[in-house]
Amino acid sequence: MHRRNFSRVAPRRAKALFYFAAAIALILGWRLVEVQVFKGPIYAKQALAQRSDTVDVFARRGSILDRDGNVLAYSLPSESVYAVPHDLGDAGTTIARLQKVLGGIPESTTALLRDRTMQFVWVARKIPHDEADAISALQLPGISVMEEDTGRRVDLAGETASTVVGFVGIDENGLAGIEYAYDDLLKGTSGRVTLEADEFGHPIPFGRQRAVRPAKPGMTLELTIDPYLQYVTESALKKQVAEFHAQSGTALVIEPFTGEVLALADLPHFDPNTYWKFSPDARRERAVQDAYEPGSTFKLLTAAAALESGKVTTSSYFPARNAIEVGGRVIHNAEDDMPVRGSSETLEDIIAYSHNVGAAEVGLSIGGKTFYDMELRAGFGDSTHVGFAGENPGIVPAPAEWSDSSLATMAFGQGVSVTPLALARYYCAIANGGLLVRPRLVRAIFDTQGRLVYQYGPEIERRVFSRRTADTLRRFLRAVVVRGTGNPSAQLAGYTTAGKTGTAQVVENGRYEPGAYIASFIGMVPYEHPRYLIYVKVERPEGAIYGSVVAAPAFSEIARQAMLHAGTLPATPRPKLSPVPKKRLVRPGRTANLTP
For residues 217 and 233, state if they share a domain: no
For residues 113 and 260, state if they share a domain: no
For residues 278 and 247, state if they share a domain: yes
For residues 166 and 108, state if they share a domain: no
The single-letter DSSP state of residue 551 is T
- Write down the number of H helices and E strands in the chain: 20, 25
When mean pLDDT is compared over 97-106, 148-157, 567-576, 583-592, the highest value belongs to 97-106
Q: Which residues, in sequence order, are CB contacts of 35 under 8 Å at separation 6+?
A: 43
The residue ranges of DSSP E strands in 182-326, in sequence order, are 191-196, 209-213, 220-223, 248-254, 261-267, 317-319, 323-326
User: How many whole angstroms separate alpha carbon 316 and alpha carbon 247?
Assistant: 41
Q: Is the pLDDT of residue 161 over 90?
A: yes
Helix (H) or strand (E) holding 452: strand 452-455
The verdict on residue 199 lying in a domain is yes
Cβ-based neighbour number of residue 505 at 10 Å: 18
User: How many whole angstroms separate alpha carbon 518 and alpha carbon 521?
Assistant: 10
Give 86-93 contacts, CB < 8 A, sequence gap 24+: 86/116, 86/117, 86/118, 86/119, 86/142, 87/141, 87/142, 88/113, 88/116, 88/140, 88/141, 88/142, 88/143, 89/140, 89/141, 89/142
Over the stretch 252-265, which tens digit does the pLDDT of each residue have?
999 999 999 999 99
What CATH number should be reported for the domain holding residue 205?
3.90.1310.10
Rounded to the nearest 5°, which phi and psi values hold at 408?
-65, -40
User: How many whole angstroms separate alpha carbon 483 and alpha carbon 486?
Assistant: 7
> Which amino acid is present at 159?
E
User: How many whole angstroms separate alpha carbon 579 and alpha carbon 109?
Assistant: 84
Rounded to the nearest 5°, which phi and psi values hold at 160?
-65, 125
For residues 483 and 549, state if they share a domain: yes
For residues 277 and 416, state if they share a domain: yes
For residues 217 and 265, state if they share a domain: no
- Reported as a pLDDT band with limits 50, 70 and 90, residue 446 is very high
For residues 352 and 476, state if they share a domain: yes
What CATH number should be reported for the domain holding residue 295?
3.40.710.10
For residues 64 and 205, state if they share a domain: yes
The runs of H, that is alpha helices, within 34-116 are: 40-50, 91-102, 107-113
Share of the chain above pLDDT 70, in %: 86
Domain enclosing residue 83, as ranges: 79-147
Per-residue confidence (pLDDT) for residue 588, from 0 to 100 = 42
The verdict on residue 218 lying in a domain is yes
The verdict on residue 580 lying in a domain is no
The verdict on residue 294 lying in a domain is yes
Helix (H) or strand (E) holding 286: helix 286-289
Q: Which of 147, 169, 186 is a domain's end point?
A: 147
Q: Which of 223, 250, 265 is a domain's end point?
A: 223
Per-residue confidence (pLDDT) for residue 191, from 0 to 100 = 66
Per-residue confidence (pLDDT) for residue 296, from 0 to 100 = 96
The verdict on residue 585 lying in a domain is no
Q: Which residues, in sequence order, are CB contacts of 260 under 8 Å at separation 6+?
A: 224, 254, 439, 440, 443
For residues 475 and 549, state if they share a domain: yes
What DSSP string describes 160-205? TTHHHH-EE-TTS-EEEHHHHHTHHHHH-B-EEEEEEB-TTSPBPT
- Reported as a pLDDT band with limits 50, 70 and 90, residue 357 is very high
Over the stretch 264-286, which tens digit does the pLDDT of each residue have?
999 999 999 999 999 999 999 99
Over the stretch 22-75, which tens digit does the pLDDT of each residue have?
888 888 888 777 777 776 677 666 665 555 555 556 678 999 999 999 999 998
The single-letter DSSP state of residue 143 is E
Cα 131 to Cα 80, 128, 145: the distances in Å are 10, 5, 10
Helix (H) or strand (E) holding 124: strand 121-127
For residues 419 and 544, state if they share a domain: yes
Per-residue confidence (pLDDT) for residue 152, from 0 to 100 = 82
Lowest mean pLDDT among 344-358, 520-534, 567-581: 567-581
The residue ranges of DSSP E strands in 481-559, in sequence order, are 498-508, 511-525, 532-539
Per-residue confidence (pLDDT) for residue 197, from 0 to 100 = 56
Per-residue confidence (pLDDT) for residue 585, from 0 to 100 = 38
Over the stretch 76-91, which tens digit does the pLDDT of each residue have?
887 888 888 877 878 8
Q: Which among 140, 134, 155, 132 is positioned nearest to 78, based on CA atoms?
A: 132
C-beta separation of 357 from 322 below 8 A: yes
C-beta separation of 225 from 444 below 8 A: no
C-beta separation of 527 from 228 below 8 A: no
- Reported as a pLDDT band with limits 50, 70 and 90, residue 188 is confident
Q: What is the count of structural domains for the chain?
A: 4
Cα 588 to Cα 291, 343, 585, 591: the distances in Å are 79, 51, 9, 8
Over the stretch 379-438, which tens digit does the pLDDT of each residue have?
999 999 998 888 999 999 999 999 999 999 999 999 999 999 999 999 999 999 999 999
The verdict on residue 142 lying in a domain is yes
User: How many whole angstroms separate alpha carbon 97 and alpha carbon 103?
Assistant: 10
The single-letter DSSP state of residue 11 is H
Rounded to the nearest 5°, which phi and psi values hold at 54?
-100, 120
Q: Which among 74, 219, 164 is positioned nearest to 439, based on CA atoms?
A: 164
C-beta separation of 248 from 569 below 8 A: no
- Choice between 232 and 43, residue whose per-residue pLDDT is larger: 232
Query: Taking all residues of the chain, what is their mean pLDDT, rounded to a whole number?
Result: 87
For residues 379 and 466, state if they share a domain: yes
The verdict on residue 581 lying in a domain is no
Q: Which of 223, 249, 282 is a domain's end point?
A: 223
The verdict on residue 7 lying in a domain is no
User: How many whole angstroms separate alpha carbon 298 and alpha carbon 415?
Assistant: 11
What DSSP string describes 366-433? H-HHHHHHHHHHTTTTS----S-TT----B---GGG--TTHHHHHTTT-S-BB-HHHHHHHHHHHHHT
